[in-house]
Amino acid sequence: GAVVSQHPSRVICKSGTSVKIECRSLDFQATTMFWYRQFPKQSLMLMATSNEGSKATYEQGVEKDKFLINHASLTLSTLTVTSAHPEDSSFYICSARTGTAYGYTFGSGTRLTVV
């Protein structure tokens, strides 16, 4: 089945630094990938939708200059949290559409802790 690999699984960074999270589709080409953020005991909140070769579409309230998304190839999307602050600490999850209209596969998530 479709597999989405997300790295790193955990990252701790200092306040003010930037962190990059990678999301790869291993056995399929993903024209569309999604990035979610999940706080403890809460639901997944969609941050942005990225399409290969074009600019990401951000949800209302998500700072595009803070959360940089790049989808340069059909198998790789990256999320860079710039100038991270403790309030950015969260669980970030990517998802890729598998090509069918309703096929979504999720990565295993990245636990970001900003100290």
Partner 1 sequence: QQQVKQSPQSLIVQKGGISIINCAYENTAFDYFPWYQQFPGKGPALLIAIRPDVSEKKEGRFTISFNKSAKQFSLHIMDSQPGDSATYFCAATTGGATNKLIFGTGTLLAVQP
Pattern of binders to partner 1 over 22-61, x per CB under 8 A? ----------x-x------xxxxxx--x------------
101 is a contact residue toward partner 1 (CB under 8 A): yes
C-beta of residue 31 within 8 angstroms of C-beta of residue 52: yes
What is the closest distance, in whole angstroms, from the C-beta atom of residue 49 to partner 1 in the complex? 6
Q: How far apart are CA 69 and CA 46, in angstroms?
A: 13
Contacts of 3 (CB under 8 A, 6+ apart): 25, 26, 27, 105
102 is a contact residue toward partner 1 (CB under 8 A): yes
Q: How far apart are CA 90 and CA 100, in angstroms?
A: 30
List of residues contacting partner 1 (CB under 8 A): 4, 6, 32, 34, 41-46, 49, 91, 93, 95, 97, 101-102, 104-109, 111
